[in-house]
Structure 1
Amino acid sequence: MECAAKGSPRRCSGPANRRCGGCGAVFYCSVSHQTSHWRVHKEECGRLKQQMCRVVLLNDFPFTFSREATYQVCGKVETRCSFLDKQGIHCVGFWICECSCGASITSSDHLRYDKGWNLSSKLCPCKGPLSMLTKKLSSWNEYYEWRGIPLDSPVALLLHWLIPEPTDELCIHYLGPEREVYQLAVFGELHALLPGVRVHIDFVGPAIPHDRDGETITLCSYAHCIEANCTCKSGTSNKSSSITIKLHSGLYHNRYTQLTKEFIPDLIIAPNAGIAAYKSWLPTIELIREIEIPTIFSDYCEEACHLAANCISSATGSPPTIPVQLNPFRQPLAVEDSALILPCYSNCFLFGI
């Protein structure tokens, strides 16, 4: 945990083990740093205290591994690596990007999009659903029940991207992808969620390798399980729906004109956006305001969304039209070493304009 006053004129005197008695969300290295930082922290202390009251709700998941993946990771009893290792998925297939061990993987082998789940067919959605969706899914419990997956399966760690609404045809501009680029096969699950729908997704962001700019991937089936004789290996394409993904390197506001020559987006998605952390978002926000395309953002914690909402209000003159709200399909594995003591999860909170 870093000292909340790190970067001030006076250097930190030691480890940050002095916790704010008001919010309990930030730490300091000394009394002097805490005192000098109060003029900054007093504006956020009450807000962070309210967010800390929602810790139990944030950590509430139905999985058999929930305590290991939440409280024990936050309390440093577990690490993401040790948790993934217990699940038998540490640094294999497209799970390699889920911990610090694989964070810098750039080898051509891991750029492949046909990696499988590395799980048995009982633990992963490698085939179509047994029944059509008859209602809007509102929880991981409902999702797992519909797909026939037991609650000890870790697949929610990769299925935490936004679940779209049914439609006949859907074009999504997906902004700022990072590890998703190495987990493209997971998006084959859209065959189950959107049967009969033609889906085109433009991935746009600076993390996309330049040598993959313009690459188009067609997902004809679900991501495969590890069993050699499973029917998911039959090679049969899913003809009821069409899913294509195209990769674009660069910032969205610089690529938008070129992108829309082929497809006009129905929806823009920006997962774990970090709007308040990157100045490059400002021209993108201004563009989104101009084109008036529905846009959904997510971030790791409620405070990040609050700061992002302030940035959007400053840039557009009005607050987000979709208020900050908890995402029921957030990733159920806590982020390690977050800046605040607040629990952080990938795609934890949503808001939109």
Structure 2
Amino acid sequence: MECAWKGRTNRCLGPARRRCGGCGAVAYCSASHQISHWSEHKEECDRLKQHMKHIDSLNEFPFTFSIQATIQVCEKRETRCSLLRKWGIHQLGMWLYECQCGTSVASFSCSSLTDNSWNLPDIMCPCNETVSSPSKHFCTWKEYYEWRYIPLDSPVALLLHWPLTIYHATQTGLGSRISETNQKLHIHYLGPEKELLQLAVFAELHALFPGMDVHIEFIGPAVPQCRDGQSFTLRKYARCISTDCSCRSTEDVSWGLHTSKSATVSMKLRRGFYHDCYRDIVKDSSPHLIIAPNAGIAAYSSWLPTIELIKEINVPAVFSDYCEEACNLGARYITSITGSPLSFPIQLNPFRQPMVVEDSALFLPCYSNCFLFGM
């Protein structure tokens, strides 16, 4: 936890151990920094106090490791590294990017396109086609795990929150209009970073959207120059480590019992900001939905022309962020630009990543893709 006034004027005097008596969500290194911050903090204090009342629901997951991955990581009795080591996946495959000692996104330019291994046995991961198509819209991790026959001690949700958030955002942003896509779902995915190094997990969209061609344009400044314009198709699920599993086959597979072999999950990488790239992108791919995970809208001035563009083209857009307060700030920013209310309000994402962000700026638990809202 950092001092909420860090970097403003005077250097911090030590660890941030002095918590705000009103909200309890922020901390300071000294009384002087707390006093200095009050003119800003007083506007958010009551709001953060209300957020703090929701801690139990934020930490509520069905997994056997939920307490370790939430409360104990917050209290520094566990770390991401220690949990990944217990699962035997620390710094392996796609898990390499799930802790602070992992490879950075910058390495993407000189790495393979995507690592397609779960580094887990077949019983612990979705490495093959589904037994049946979804019979309903999934609303919880438990429902999804039961459908995929994954035990609740499997950590795969730590990576699957990317495709499951797309799935949930599509249901929220498009609703019944998904039937109007003619089995071709085009998504513009803004600001990808770590997920660029975990692309194999997006093959799960084959299972979540059976029989549908899903095309995703990944657009953002983190896409390396040498990958700009690169296209590829995910033909198989990420593999397990069981040597006798059918996912080890080199032959192409059909994606589910009720799907067409022609159904695809295809991707294209675009370097740059959305408002700069849009005119070129829509020559190939007009979006049904725009998604911006962990957007940080209020934190980056580059969002202004992008929000203006999204309003102009009138395409449903879903944003996520690490905590409710970040969404509040982002929502206020959007409404100030567009002059219109949100199309759907801030809501908890049931498919948020089930491990808290380490060393967040708030005592309030933060999760990747924690809350969603849209315009």
TM-score of Structure 1 vs Structure 2, range by shorter chain? over 0.9
**Does residue 348 of the first structure (1) align with residue 374 of the second (2)?**
no
CA-atom RMSD, angstroms?
1.4
Q: 1:240 to 1:122 in 2, by over 3 A?
A: farther
Distance of 1:342 and 1:103 partners within structure 2: 27
Give the alignment of 1:9-28 within 5 angstroms. Answer: 9-28=9-28
* SS of equivalent residue, structure 1 residue 45: helix
* SS of equivalent residue, structure 2 residue 161: coil
* SS of equivalent residue, structure 1 residue 258: helix
1:237: which partner in 2? 253
2:40: which partner in 1? 40
Distance of 1:63 and 1:215 partners within structure 2: 37
Of residues 335, 342, 345, the one that matches 1:313 is: 335
Match for 2:295: what amino acid?
A: A
Q: 1:311 to 1:107 in 2, by over 3 A?
A: closer
**Does residue 209 of the first structure (1) align with residue 224 of the second (2)?**
yes
CA drift of 1:112 comes to: 2.7
Distance of 2:39 and 2:109 partners within structure 1: 49
**Does residue 271 of the first structure (1) align with residue 293 of the second (2)?**
yes
Q: Which runs of 5+ in 1 are unaligned?
A: none
Contact 1:205–1:251 (Cα < 8 Å) also in 2: yes
* SS of equivalent residue, structure 2 residue 122: coil
**Does residue 136 of the first structure (1) align with residue 130 of the second (2)?**
no
Distance of 2:307 and 2:345 partners within structure 1: 16
Give the alignment of 1:321-340 within 5 angstroms. Answer: 321-340=343-362
Contact 1:63–1:152 (Cα < 8 Å) also in 2: yes
Q: 1:73 to 1:209 in 2, by over 3 A?
A: same
CA drift of 1:237 comes to: 2.8
Match for 2:218: what amino acid?
A: F
Contact 1:189–1:222 (Cα < 8 Å) also in 2: yes
**Does residue 254 of the first structure (1) align with residue 269 of the second (2)?**
no
- Residue-by-residue CA offset, 1:21-70 (whole Å, 9 max, x unaligned): 11000111111221222221111110000000000100000000101110
Contact 1:334–1:344 (Cα < 8 Å) also in 2: yes
1:190: which partner in 2? 205
Match for 1:19: what amino acid?
A: R
1:66: which partner in 2? 66
Q: Which runs of 5+ in 2 are unaligned?
A: 172-177, 255-260
Contact 2:108–2:197 (Cα < 8 Å) also in 1: no
TM-score normalized with structure 1 length: 0.97
Give the alignment of 1:148-227 within 5 angstroms. Answer: 148-161=149-162, 162=165, 163=167, 164-165=170-171, 167=179, 168-227=183-242
| Percentage of identical aligned residues | 62
2:175: which partner in 1? none
* SS of equivalent residue, structure 1 residue 160: helix
Q: 1:107 to 1:271 in 2, by over 3 A?
A: closer
The aligned length equals: 353
Match for 2:334: what amino acid?
A: I
Distance of 2:323 and 2:288 partners within structure 1: 26
- Residue-by-residue CA offset, 1:198-238 (whole Å, 9 max, x unaligned): 11110000001100011111111111111122111222233
**Does residue 304 of the first structure (1) align with residue 326 of the second (2)?**
yes
Q: 1:270 to 1:102 in 2, by over 3 A?
A: same
Match for 1:237: what amino acid?
A: V
CA drift of 1:346 comes to: 0.3
Contact 2:108–2:224 (Cα < 8 Å) also in 1: no
- Residue-by-residue CA offset, 1:310-352 (whole Å, 9 max, x unaligned): 1101111123211000000000011001111110000000000
Match for 1:225: what amino acid?
A: C
* SS of equivalent residue, structure 1 residue 128: coil
Q: 1:231 to 1:302 in 2, by over 3 A?
A: same
TM-score normalized with structure 2 length: 0.91
* SS of equivalent residue, structure 1 residue 122: helix
